[in-house]
Amino acid sequence: MPKGIRRGLLLVAAAGLAAGFAAAPAQAAPADRAADRPTPAAAPAVDAAAQLAAATGITRDQAVQRLATQAKNVPLADRLTKQLGARTGGAYFEPSGALVVTVTAAADAAVVTRAGAKAKVVERSAGELAAIKTALDKAGGVANSTWGIDTAANKVVLSVPADAPRATAVEKAAARFGAAVSITRTARPVAPHNDIAGGDPLYHSSGGRCSTGFNVRAGATRYVLTAGHCTALGGTWNNYAGLYIGPSVGSYFPGQDHGLIRIDSSLPQIPGVYLYNGGFQTITSAGSGYPGLYACKSGSTTGLTCGTVLATNVTVNYAQGPVYGTDQTTICSQPGDSGGSYFTGATALGLVSGGTTSGCNSAFRSYFQPVIPALSYWGVALV
């Protein structure tokens, strides 16, 4: 039994008692089963390039080049930030796909440039920014407030609902850090998108729908990794063709947003993500998101959508409680996409958690549970 399952079962019971949060998503995401979904063949390229070109006005060839540059630089970002440790404020991507690694001492800039990235000297380390964010986490926020680290600006960004009382506890905590925290007020509410390849629909025994994140296993036992606010419903799940998958066996929500469905049937696990264009993207590894990264998600409501990572390690305060450490992005997601695959190229990044409820316009923000903490918590590995 994977680590965390026993605790997760308790969370299923507790989260299932939350004030009706599952009912509205179930209504918002009616069954729309694609029973004729094709089986995997030679996977075509992810259609991220077309979406990137349309969103930015660059040519498709330029979009393809940017995505290729990104794919090369994601592991470089991991290596350099680990190597620099306390001497970096983190890494982010420019619109061109170029990697920028921040350093707190000019002497370290040469380390970054020799490795093939751009260097930027900043005032605060990633550890200092994380400590500020932790202080805000401890202060607690009102529903619909969010806060996280803006790596490019080298500060923590706090967003509070426009209709919240003035001088909330989290704003008072933020004031202690002066210019290291910027505060804005917004009218955009946030909510979990609650509603066997990654992105496929998952139909709950209650009639609700979520989406597959990634196929995983622990030894010989097979699981679907999806959103914790989905598996918190308990019950059992069927796949896109109405075939039985198995029961919810663990949930971590709120706090984080991931959970497991045990595969008790003979359904095969696909090591990839369905792209809603007849093809699949193979997934070969798990990684982290970075600000500026252009990434995609696959979910059973909005299909394949792509956008930009705005911030990482963001706390989002849903009505059901806070979820810590999310990636905030511009990627469109809607109810029923919950748990869906968040990825860049062949790298798994995370799972759809929720988003603002104003629709997928220029002000839309979505929030993703990172995949690495989820895999670690449950003690499972990608298939």
341 flagged as catalytic: no
193 flagged as catalytic: no
Reference 254, options 189, 315, 182; nearest CA is 315
257 flagged as catalytic: yes
- Selected catalytic residue, list 338, 341, 353, 366: 338
Question: CA-CA distance, 382 to 211, in Å (whole number)?
Answer: 17
Q: Contact at 8 Å (CB) between 370 and 63?
A: no
Contacts of the segment 175-182: beta carbons below 8 A, 24+ positions apart: 176/135, 177/132, 177/135, 179/155, 180/124, 180/128, 180/129, 180/132, 180/155, 180/156, 181/132, 181/136, 181/155, 181/156, 181/157, 182/150, 182/153, 182/155, 182/156, 182/157, 182/158
Tell me which residue has tokens 């849903």. 318
Question: CA-CA distance, 227 to 371, in Å (whole number)?
Answer: 10
Q: Which two tokens stand for residue 243?
A: 């075939």
- Selected catalytic residue, list 108, 257, 327, 337: 257
| Amino acid (1-letter code) at residue 9 | L
- Selected catalytic residue, list 145, 229, 353, 366: 229
Counting Cα atoms < 13 Å in the Cβ hemisphere of 362 gives 2
How far apart, in Å, are the Cα atoms of 344 and each of 204, 324, 336?
A: 28, 22, 21
State the CB neighbour count (10 A cutoff) for residue 307.
Answer: 23
Reference 226, options 273, 294, 267; nearest CA is 273
Residues noted as catalytic: 229, 257, 338
